[in-house]
Amino acid sequence: MSNKSNFFSSFSTAVAELSGRPYTFVAALALVLAWAVTGPYFDYSETWQLVINTTTTIITFLMVFVLQNTQNRDGKALQAKLDELILTSQAANKFVGIEKLDEGELREMSKSLAEKAECVEEKAEEKSDAEATSA
């Protein structure tokens, strides 16, 4: 199972990298333009329309899973890096693993942090004002 998981991770990383390149966009644009140019040749038939609709739907459907996989892995890696920074610094260790809290708990923690940030900002402004008046 791990082998299949590693294969899919490697595959999705490669596809995500390729799909984000300018050349890939140009290739996709060229295909759409080629399809549009062939419209008069196929008399703008339903089959002609079905080709582009089916192709883009299938590609979009598959890309959702590939890109979601890379996003999930990137998010977990970033979270692990942040946890390591928290653990090795003087920050409060209560923030390690907060991504696993439910929505209400996250909202409360965010509100608490915003209030602390406002206090720090007010103190910084007071200090700045005091330094400006003494100078």
Task: Write the DSSP symbol of residue 97.
Answer: T
Give me the domain span that covers residue 15.
4-95
How many domains, the chain?
Answer: 2
Same domain? For 71 and 110 the reply is no
Same domain? For 74 and 20 the reply is yes
What are the helix and strand counts (H, E) for the chain? 4, 0
Same domain? For 10 and 50 the reply is yes
Same domain? For 42 and 90 the reply is yes
Same domain? For 36 and 65 the reply is yes
Supply the Cα-derived Rg of the chain in whole angstroms.
Answer: 26
pLDDT of 1 strictly over 70: no
Cα–Cα dist 89/85, whole Å: 6
Same domain? For 105 and 79 the reply is no
Residue 48: CB partners within 8 Å, gap ≥ 6?
Answer: 35, 38, 39, 42
Same domain? For 50 and 109 the reply is no
* Residue 35: other Cβ atoms inside 10 A: 16
Same domain? For 64 and 81 the reply is yes
Coil, helix or strand at residue 118: helix
pTM check: above 0.95: no
Same domain? For 48 and 105 the reply is no
Same domain? For 63 and 35 the reply is yes
pLDDT 10s digits, 56-94: 999 999 999 999 999 999 988 998 888 888 888 887 777
CA atoms within 13 A on the CB side of 33: 6
Task: Write the DSSP symbol of residue 39.
Answer: T
Same domain? For 41 and 107 the reply is no
pLDDT 10s digits, 94-129: 778 888 888 888 888 888 888 888 887 888 888 888
